[in-house]
């Protein structure tokens, strides 16, 4: 302590040595200060030239040391460093200490001349390293620095070279995370950094882990503050929920440090600001404690406001339950019941009751017809006799039910509304796209290839029971029919047929060459005979008439040979594909090569870029047209899910693994345990070939997928395998299933 005190006005030599007999017992960190005390004759050891670092100092020795130090500092003959005026000094940091109040003491020794001891205030000193502002604590002993000062006050410190490296902290938008690497968005660029093995993670200020943050990223968007060590590896991740997540919803949990809102079927956690959180209802301030005490029984709907770091600063209550605010439980032409805070309230309706539904004037009959299947939140206006004069009804999630379809699974749907995403549970929904009914599985298989705007209908539990959508890109698909005499063309886009009138002077391109409607009709006949498709892209004018048709067929009459496989490599000169379980390389023919990718005119470079950008579960299938020399002159390529590419080779016999009646799907396993998903027709027929009549009675199982699922459950109960044989149609869908217990 005495050595460090003197170090505030004398230069400490961090390379100093001492000559005590027991100097090896003195810690390396203490040697510079022991040497300083020795040089000033304040502590010189015992008569045997030992320092005795392990011995305790008694009161008398402490008093002697204190007096000697005091007299030394007040001795007119003692020399202390000169007090600087103003200027700049470059040199090596001998000592750097951040004081308890946040200020800094800095001792700098230049390559020649006297050193300086300087102080800096935390609020005024700017420290930079490699062009970026860093903290005072980042200045370390041994650093090469340039210091600008005025008297003893430091103005700025530039760290020219860091002896141990700088621990820096930066904030980004989180894009991806693995167990060893984090990818973030920095401006318009994406950068990746390696994680240290002992990286620490917090989410919303609470201790967490890398694996949990990876899981949370499936549901939330995050901003992260990263701490880097001297090796530019990440040692700490501080994740905060991104503001793009919903800020309005049902308040389902609340504590002094965080709250949870529920939107649809998904919950979102937000940390509370350490400063005061303002709570308002109907424009008036509410006590925070009141909200925390009552949120469970009053079912609040709230809108949050966050600060720049993602902490909640304001909570606005947009709906709360009481005697006249709640969920509509029953209504007819005479009375209604609402449920609020666990209680049911009953009221009679005035004859001329006014009705408002979702902010617009409505009819009482609408509520009486729909309330059983549609959840309504209602606010009532009563007269002095407690008769209802006004009903303001809001469809739960009504503002969040119309948007752009983002993701779809067999059990959940996610829509984007005003750049925010909302997830809902599905309850065997009816699906209608552009006025035509399709299956949920068809929409699932196609939604990624198109763009859909959808409107959702909910049941009383908030589950989606109907999806009504519009395909906004229904001009790309496969050719279904063309009628030259009627000037009509029909394509299939997303499982739905669309028929368009053709303009009198419609232009047609087939496989990259100018063509005619009649030739396209002939090509369709040939494609149907070969069970192949023709990809179509249409252009419409303002009257929705087709003005341009770009068509790509898989077969090629000009080819001496057509080879089909999976793309492995491509450049300007050659293309490699996986054909019949072998990698084969083909040279391109001289001249222009026709390349189409997903039905659109493309190039070899575009195809190479697409191959590099594939997702992990995607592949590119190619159809290569070869000339008489075996060179490729045309490439028809498609990006598909890897599972789809295996359809032709999928087994039609195997052990039944899963049955999904609502999705018209089943999963079977082969002998190696590999799983394969098959889609069935809606009228699929199931029959049973049961060997053990004592355990199974086929009369117990219906001849449909529901019956097949019951049979699978029975087999699982008996620890048997359920074996199936499938029959498919030309579209690859299962039309018949024979199931047995062996």
Q: Tens digits of per-residue pLDDT, 293-304?
A: 888 877 788 888
Residue 347 falls inside a structural domain: yes
- 126 and 175, same domain (yes or no): no
Which residue in the block uniquely carries the two structure tokens 């995050």? Answer: 222
- 728 and 706, same domain (yes or no): yes
pLDDT score of 731: 64
Residue 106 falls inside a structural domain: yes
Beta-carbon contacts of residue 576 (< 8 Å; ≥ 6 apart): 567, 568, 569, 570, 583, 584, 585, 586
Residue 296 falls inside a structural domain: yes
pLDDT score of 8: 73
- 579 and 627, same domain (yes or no): yes
How many domains is the chain partitioned into structurally? 9
To the question of pTM greater than 0.85 for the whole model, the response is no
- 659 and 732, same domain (yes or no): yes
Question: Tokens for 738?
Answer: 């024979």
Answer for the pair 708, 739: CB distance below 8 angstroms, yes or no: yes
CA–CA dist 94, 698 (Å, integer):
89
- 655 and 735, same domain (yes or no): yes
The rounded radius of gyration (Å) of the Cα atoms in the chain is: 38
Residue that is last in its domain, among 645, 679, 709: 645
Residue 530 falls inside a structural domain: yes
pLDDT score of 554: 67
- 682 and 638, same domain (yes or no): no
| Closest of 140, 177, 189, 146 to residue 162, by C-alpha | 140
pLDDT score of 642: 62
Give bridge partners of residue 238 from the DSSP assignment. 202, 225
Range of the domain at 641: 561-645
Residue that is last in its domain, among 471, 502, 533: 471
pLDDT in tens, 516-562: 999 899 888 888 776 678 889 999 988 889 999 998 876 666 677 88
Residue 659 falls inside a structural domain: yes
Q: What is the phi-psi region of residue 682: left when phi exceeds 0, alpha when psi lies from -120 to 50, beta otherwise?
A: alpha
Residue 606 falls inside a structural domain: yes
CA–CA dist 238, 203 (Å, integer):
6
- 654 and 736, same domain (yes or no): yes
Answer for the pair 127, 157: CB distance below 8 angstroms, yes or no: yes
Residue 80 falls inside a structural domain: no
- 274 and 203, same domain (yes or no): no
Residue that is last in its domain, among 268, 289, 319: 319
Answer for the pair 80, 117: CB distance below 8 angstroms, yes or no: no
Kindly report the CATH number assigned to the domain that includes residue 137.
2.40.50.140
Answer for the pair 227, 195: CB distance below 8 angstroms, yes or no: no
CA–CA dist 260, 315 (Å, integer):
12
pLDDT score of 737: 93
Q: What are phi and psi of 511, to 5 degrees?
A: 55, 40
- 528 and 572, same domain (yes or no): no
- 373 and 456, same domain (yes or no): no
- Torsion angle (degrees, nearest 10) of CA 685, 690, 693, 697: -20
Residue 81 falls inside a structural domain: no
pLDDT score of 575: 95
- 50 and 110, same domain (yes or no): no
Q: How far is CA 302 from the centre of its chain?
A: 24
Which parts of the chain register pLDDT below 70? Answer: 75-85, 152, 167-168, 205, 219, 241-245, 264-265, 308-309, 373, 396-400, 460-461, 530-531, 554-558, 599, 617, 641-649, 730-731, 742
CA–CA dist 672, 653 (Å, integer):
13
- 656 and 729, same domain (yes or no): yes
Give bridge partners of residue 272 from the DSSP assignment. 312
Burial status of residue 339 (CB atoms within 10 A of its CB: 0-12, 13-18, 19 or more): middle
Q: What secondary structure does DSSP assign to 610-675, as a single string?
A: HHHT--TTEEEEEEEEE-TTS-EEEEEEEEEEHHHHTGGG--SEEEEEEEEGGGTEEEEE-TT--E
């Amino acid at each position: 302590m005495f050595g460090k005190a003197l170090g505030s006005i004398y230069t400490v030599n961090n390379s100093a040595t001492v000559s005590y007999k027991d100097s090896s017992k003195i810690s390396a960190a203490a040697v510079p200060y022991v040497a300083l005390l020795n040089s000033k004759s304040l502590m010189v050891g015992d008569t045997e030239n030992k320092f005795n670092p392990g011995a305790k100092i008694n009161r008398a020795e402490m008093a002697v040391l204190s007096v000697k130090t005091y007299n030394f500092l007040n001795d007119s003959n003692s020399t202390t460093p000169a007090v600087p005026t103003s200027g700049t000094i470059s040199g090596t940091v001998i000592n750097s200490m951040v004081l308890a109040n946040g200020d800094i003491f800095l001792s700098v020794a230049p390559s020649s001349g006297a050193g300086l001891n300087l102080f800096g205030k935390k609020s005024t000193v700017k420290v930079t390293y490699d062009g970026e502002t860093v903290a005072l604590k980042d200045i370390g002993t041994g650093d090469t620095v340039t210091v600008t000062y005025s008297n003893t006050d430091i103005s700025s410190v530039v760290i020219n070279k860091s002896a141990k490296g700088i621990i820096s902290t930066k904030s980004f938008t989180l894009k991806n995370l693995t167990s060893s690497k984090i990818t973030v968005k920095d401006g318009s660029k994406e950068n990746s950094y390696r994680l240290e093995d002992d990286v620490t993670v917090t989410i919303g200020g609470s201790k967490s882990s890398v694996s949990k943050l990876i899981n949370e990223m499936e549901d939330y968007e995050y901003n992260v503050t990263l701490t880097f060590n001297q090796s530019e590896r990440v040692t700490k991740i501080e994740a905060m929920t991104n503001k793009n997540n919903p800020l309005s919803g049902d308040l389902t949990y609340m504590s002094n440090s965080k709250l949870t809102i529920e939107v649809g079927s998904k919950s979102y956690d937000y940390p509370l600001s350490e400063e005061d959180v303002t709570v308002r209802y109907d424009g008036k301030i509410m006590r925070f404690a009141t909200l925390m005490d009552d949120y469970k029984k009053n079912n609040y709907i709230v809108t949050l406001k966050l600060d720049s770091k993602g902490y909640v600063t304001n909570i606005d209550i947009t709906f709360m339950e009481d005697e006249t605010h709640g969920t509509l439980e029953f209504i007819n032409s005479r009375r209604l019941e609402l449920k609020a805070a666990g209680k049911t309230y009953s009221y009679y309706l005035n004859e001329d009751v006014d009705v408002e539904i979702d902010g617009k004037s409505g009819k009482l009959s609408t509520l009486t017809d729909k309330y059983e299947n549609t959840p309504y939140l209602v606010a009532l206006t009563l007269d002095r006799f407690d008769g209802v004069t006004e009903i303001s009804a809001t469809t739960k999630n009504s503002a969040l039910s119309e948007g752009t379809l983002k993701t779809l699974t067999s059990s959940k749907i996610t829509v984007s509304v005003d750049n925010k995403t909302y997830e809902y549970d599905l309850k065997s929904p009816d699906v209608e796209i552009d006025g035509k009914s399709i299956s949920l599985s068809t929409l699932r298989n196609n939604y990624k290839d198109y763009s859909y705007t959808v409107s959702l209908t909910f049941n009383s539990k908030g589950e989606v029971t109907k999806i009504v959508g519009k395909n906004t890109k229904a001009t790309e698909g496969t050719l279904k029919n063309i009628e030259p005499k009627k000037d009509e063309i029909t394509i299939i886009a997303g499982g739905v047929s669309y028929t368009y009138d053709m303009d009198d002077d419609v232009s047609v391109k087939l496989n990259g060459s100018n063509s005619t409607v009649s030739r396209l009709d002939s090509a369709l006949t040939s494609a149907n005979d070969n069970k192949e498709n023709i990809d179509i892209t249409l252009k419409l004018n303002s009257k929705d008439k087709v003005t341009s048709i770009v068509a790509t067929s898989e077969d090629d009459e000009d080819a001496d040979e057509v080879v089909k496989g999976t793309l492995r490599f491509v450049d300007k000169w050659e293309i490699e594909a996986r054909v019949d379980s072998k990698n084969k390389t083909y040279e391109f023919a001289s001249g222009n090569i026709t390349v189409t990718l997903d039905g659109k005119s493309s190039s070899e470079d575009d195809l190479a870029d697409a191959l590099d950008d594939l997702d992990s579960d995607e592949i590119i299938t190619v159809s290569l047209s070869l000339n008489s020399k075996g060179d490729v002159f045309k490439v028809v390529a498609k990006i598909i899910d890897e599972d789809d590419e295996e359809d032709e080779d999928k087994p039609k016999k195997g052990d039944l693994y899963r049955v999904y009646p609502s999705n018209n799907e089943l999963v079977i396993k082969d002998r190696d345990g590999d799983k394969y998903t098959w889609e069935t027709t809606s009228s699929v027929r199931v029959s049973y070939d049961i060997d053990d009549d004592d355990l199974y009675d086929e009369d117990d199982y219906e001849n449909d997928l529901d019956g097949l699922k019951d049979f699978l459950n029975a087999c699982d109960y008996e620890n048997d395998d359920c074996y199936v044989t499938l029959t498919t149609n030309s579209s690859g869908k299962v039309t018949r299933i024979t199931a047995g217990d062996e």
